[in-house]
Structure formats: structure tokens, C-alpha cells
């Protein structure tokens, strides 16, 4: 006799976080100056705490060609994404959102400011902006570490500073833009060793390019590309790739995020045709190809103990999509 037994797993956990908010805004605008000041006051009953979120946006014309921009804001977030890795949750990586609490998941708070200059003349726009941002209240479990910190519990912060450059040209039948970003992004967890190390998203250099051209009135072709330096990742200690941890053998990772993946590069193209499907209904068909060079970009690398030789580790690489055609149809009522 053959008998099939099915097992199910259910876990329900209900949490409630009630907050009230009050919002106010002041705005000033004339031909030379634009200024807006917002402030939002949040009260969280669970924490018996007020959190203020001011926002400032100022744009001042220096001449008919040049302008200076100043922006700053405070933000908070009371929900956090937790990542259960394959060893945590029935062999499947699971991502879930949880509410902040008074124990190990604080409310994350960010502060950021930017200062920029803009040049606008004859459909040319040049924009340069420097920025600085600090986010407090992040946790190790929501950052997706694949190293010795993967199962630790701690809260900390990250700081990112950088410079963005944009040039844009617009004409009657085409538009194009080029952007470059330089940034430095570091974690800070005081209980870890080392306490400061590169962020998982510490991408130092990034270049984006796009070009749109109207071949005919309803027909448009678009090209876009991106190149960026590789994301950080952590390698095992050379010569001592695995260690004994109780009854288990685990990967012996070295300094966190010390190495970088290969550079990422992708080129996309699309063709868009717009037409009137009926009276009052505008439609469009878009045919495109993502990664037309079919480049095999590695977007993440981590390690596992070699099942055939427990003294060594094997690399597991996650790669982006290769050449991917796609077709879409849209209707606008």
C-alpha cells in the first residue's frame, strides 16, 4: 500500500504600530527664488515618541543661465525587511517585512543634504550636485550579508557621500542625456570587527547614457546603457577557507566586502509606435531588447563548503539576465 503524507507549515504573528502625524508647508516663489519648507510631526504610541521630519528645498537663480540648489530632509521608517536565508527557513530564502519594536528592530532615521549648481542654455542642461546622507537604525538582518555577519544580530548605520553630474540635450526630434555618479558608502556597526567597512551597495563609479529619436511622428527609437564598478563581496581566507563551528563546518570568510565583482555593463534598445486605437483611446506598442550584447554580468557572489572537499569552499555566482526580448501594449483612456 502506498500512502502519501503532505505536511503544511503555517506561522501567523500579528503586530500593530499606531502613529499619528501632523503636516505643514510654507512656500515662496518669484522669478528668481523658489523656497519650500515642510515639516511633519509623527507620534508613535508604542514608543511614546515624537519624531520630526523637516524638509527644505531652495533654488536661487544667479543669472539667466545659472542657478544654485540646496536641499535637505529628515526621514524615518517604522518597517524593516528581514531576510531569512536558506539555512534559516526550510531551505528557502524568504524576505518579509516587520514592524519596529523596542528590542532589536529600531525605527530607522535618515538625514541627508545636497548642494548643486545648474546651467541651462539653448536646450542644454548641465547639473552638478554633491550629497551626504546618514541612515541610523539599520540591522544586520536586513542588509543581506553573505559572510560571517549573516546570522548575527546588531543595529548600526551607514554613511554615503558623493557627487553626481548630468548633461542633457533636447531638440525637436531627439533627446539625449549622460550622467556620472561617484559615491563612497560605508557601514558602521560598533560591535563588529572591523566596525567600519564598505556597504553592500558601495558602487564607486556609475555611468548612464540614453538617446531617444523620433524617426516619424508616431515612431520612436531609444537606446540606453549603463556601466558601473562592481559591488563589494567577501572572499574566504586564502589557505583556510573553512573552519569547524561546533558540529558543523562553515566557510571562513575574510575581511567583509574587501573585494569587488567585475564591472557591470548593459546596453538596451527599444522601438515604440503610438497610434489611436479608437476615438478617445491612445495606444502604443513597444518592442525592446534588454542586454543586447548578451553580457553575463555577475551581480552577487557568495561561498559554500565544497561537498566533495570540506577543507575548501566553492563560489556561487548570481548573474543578471542575458539577452531578453520583450513586447508591451498600452492603452490610455
Instruction: Give the mean pLDDT of 109-121.
Output: 97
Provide the pLDDT confidence category of residue 85 given band limits of 50, 70 and 90: low
Q: What is the mean pLDDT of the chain?
A: 90
**Grid coordinates standing for 110?**
535618515
Going by their DSSP bridges, the two strands 33-44 and 49-61 should be labelled as antiparallel
| 267 and 328 share one domain | yes
In a domain, 268, yes or no: yes
What is the tens place of the pLDDT at every residue in 129-185? 999 999 999 988 888 888 888 888 889 999 999 999 999 999 989 999 999 999 999
Provide the pLDDT confidence category of residue 89 given band limits of 50, 70 and 90: very low
Distance CA 316, CA 314 (A): 7
Q: Containing domain of residue 180, as a range?
A: 59-202
Distance CA 37, CA 286 (A): 41
Domain count, the chain: 2
What is the pLDDT, as a whole number, of residue 297? 96
**Grid coordinates standing for 187?**
557601514
Task: Tell me, yes or no, if the pTM score tops 0.85.
Answer: yes
What is the pLDDT, as a whole number, of residue 10? 63
Last residue of a domain, one of 137, 168, 202: 202
What is the tens place of the pLDDT at every residue in 207-241? 999 999 998 888 999 999 999 999 999 999 999 99
More confident residue, 84 or 37: 37
In a domain, 19, yes or no: no
Provide the pLDDT confidence category of residue 282 given band limits of 50, 70 and 90: confident
Helical ranges in the chain per DSSP H: none
Provide the pLDDT confidence category of residue 275 given band limits of 50, 70 and 90: confident
In a domain, 48, yes or no: no
- List, as one string, the DSSP characters of 92-158: S-EEEEEE--SSS-PPEEEEEEEEEEEEEETTEEEEEEEEEEEEEEEEGGGTT--STTTT---EEEE
| Beta bridge partner(s), residue 74 | 111
Percent of the chain scoring above 90 in pLDDT: 70
Instruction: Give the mean pLDDT of 290-306.
Output: 95
- Please give the backbone phi and psi of residue 142, each rounded to the nearest 5 degrees, phi first: -105, 10
Q: Which of 76-85, 107-116, 277-286 has the lowest mean pLDDT?
A: 76-85
Last residue of a domain, one of 202, 236, 264: 202
Instruction: Give the mean pLDDT of 305-328.
Output: 94
| 162 and 245 share one domain | no
Amino acid at each position: 500500500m502506498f500512502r502519501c503524507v503532505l505536511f503544511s507549515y503555517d506561522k501567523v504573528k500579528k503586530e500593530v504600530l499606531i502613529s499619528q502625524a501632523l503636516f505643514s508647508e510654507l512656500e515662496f516663489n518669484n522669478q528668481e527664488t523658489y523656497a519650500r519648507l515642510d515639516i511633519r510631526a509623527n507620534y508613535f504610541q508604542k514608543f511614546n515618541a515624537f519624531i520630526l521630519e523637516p524638509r527644505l528645498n531652495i533654488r536661487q537663480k544667479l543669472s539667466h543661465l545659472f542657478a544654485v540648489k540646496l536641499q535637505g530632509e529628515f526621514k524615518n521608517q517604522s518597517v524593516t525587511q528581514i531576510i531569512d536565508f536558506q539555512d534559516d527557513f526550510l531551505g528557502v530564502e524568504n524576505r518579509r517585512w516587520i514592524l519596529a519594536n523596542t528590542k532589536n528592530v529600531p525605527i530607522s532615521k535618515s538625514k541627508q543634504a545636497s548642494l548643486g549648481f545648474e546651467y541651462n542654455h539653448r536646450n542644454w542642461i548641465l547639473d552638478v550636485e554633491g550629497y551626504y546622507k546618514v541612515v541610523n537604525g539599520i540591522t544586520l538582518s536586513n542588509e543581506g550579508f553573505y559572510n560571517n555577519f549573516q546570522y548575527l544580530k546588531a543595529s548600526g548605520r551607514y554613511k554615503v557621500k558623493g557627487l553626481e553630474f548630468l548633461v542633457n540635450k533636447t531638440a525637436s526630434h531627439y533627446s539625449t542625456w549622460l550622467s556620472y555618479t561617484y559615491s563612497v558608502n560605508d557601514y558602521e556597526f560598533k560591535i563588529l570587527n572591523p566596525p567600519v567597512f564598505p556597504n553592500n551597495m558601495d558602487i564607486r563609479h556609475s555611468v548612464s547614457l540614453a538617446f531617444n529619436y523620433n524617426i516619424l511622428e508616431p515612431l520612436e527609437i531609444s537606446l540606453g546603457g549603463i556601466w558601473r564598478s562592481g559591488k563589494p563581496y567577501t572572499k574566504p581566507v586564502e589557505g583556510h577557507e573553512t573552519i569547524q563551528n561546533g558540529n558543523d563546518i562553515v566557510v571562513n570568510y575574510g575581511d567583509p566586502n574587501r573585494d569587488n565583482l567585475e564591472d557591470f555593463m548593459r546596453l538596451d534598445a527599444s522601438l515604440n509606435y503610438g497610434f489611436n486605437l479608437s476615438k478617445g483611446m491612445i495606444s502604443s506598442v513597444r518592442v525592446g531588447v534588454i542586454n543586447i550584447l548578451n553580457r553575463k554580468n555577475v551581480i552577487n557572489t557568495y561561498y559554500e563548503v565544497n561537498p566533495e572537499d570540506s577543507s575548501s569552499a566553492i563560489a556561487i555566482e548570481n548573474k543578471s539576465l542575458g539577452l531578453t526580448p520583450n513586447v508591451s501594449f498600452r492603452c490610455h483612456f
